[in-house]
Amino acid sequence: MKKLVIALTALAAFTGSAMAADMAPRYAKAPMPMPVAPSWTGFYIFGGAGGGLWAADQHIQTTVGALPLTVDQRQGGSGWFGTVGAGYDWQVNSGWVAGIFADGQFGSLKGTIQDPIAGWTASEKLQDAWAAGVRVGYLVAPNVLSYVNGGYSGSHFSGTSLYSTISGAPVGDHTNSFNRNGWFIGGGVENNLTIAGLINAPGWFLKTEYRSAFYNSKAVNELVDGTNAFVGRDIKFNTWNQTISTSLVYRFNWSGPVVAKY
């Protein structure tokens, strides 16, 4: 009996060793997963909201001959807007990203313009603006981009009725709406919304951006209601627009950071 127990024990030990030797290579074949580096190359869209203000250096001049009648005065306004846009980025190397984009802003940045000679005032609104440009950014982290941008911009200001600065009554004159073009410069930060252990949002980003736009001057005609006859004075209008916005961004082919699949 003792010999049988010894023989069975030896056989079990030999079989276990053989099985372990046979199974070991299969488990040794799979390497440890490695993180895949993110890529910023690809298309994206975004939408958001923000606030801004505009300032206008203006003076009154004659309609014919553009003879200045007053010194420059600074008028302006402020308000809120929504924004939508799209773009394409190229990740140049491990640290730098470059891209192109276009966007529009829609809202009401409301302020005032004045004709101090006649004692008239009016409410003027920057109703919408658009921009197309380029941006260059540096990756402060694999999923965080700090960037500057610049390019071409356009804006649309509303028409308005003129009122007495004393009584507040309409004076029977108005200005028409007008468009102005110019250029802009700005910058911001864009970061992926995935937070390890809390939020998994591949492709979704949050972008916060400041922008400063400079538009060329416009001689805004003062016109008589009904006939559109020239009053004889124009408001020379030269604007500077500043905005700050936060947008939700979606990148269609965001590829990181993820764990490699085997």
Q: Which residues contact 185 (CB under 8 A, 6 or more apart)?
A: 148, 149, 150, 211, 212
Q: In the prediction, which pLDDT does 20 show?
A: 47
Q: Quick one: which of 120, 114, 121, 118 has its CA closest to 235?
A: 114
pLDDT in tens, 221-234: 999 999 999 999 99
pLDDT in tens, 42-100: 999 999 999 999 999 999 999 999 999 999 989 889 999 999 999 999 999 989 999 99
The CA distance from 63 to 101, in Å, is 39
Q: Which residues contact 18 (CB under 8 A, 6 or more apart)?
A: none
The stretch 104-128 carries a mean pLDDT of 93
For each of the domains in the chain, give its residue range(s) and CATH number, in order of start: 40-255 (2.40.160.20)
Q: Residue 187 has which token pair?
A: 């910058």
Task: Kindly tell me if the per-residue pLDDT of 4 is higher than 50.
Answer: no
Amino acid type, 211: R
Q: Is 64 helix (H, G, I), strand (E, B) or coil?
A: coil
Q: Are strands 160-164 and 96-115 parallel, antiparallel or unpaired?
A: unpaired
Length of the chain: 262
Q: What is the pTM of this model?
A: 0.80
Q: Residue 261 has which token pair?
A: 């699949």
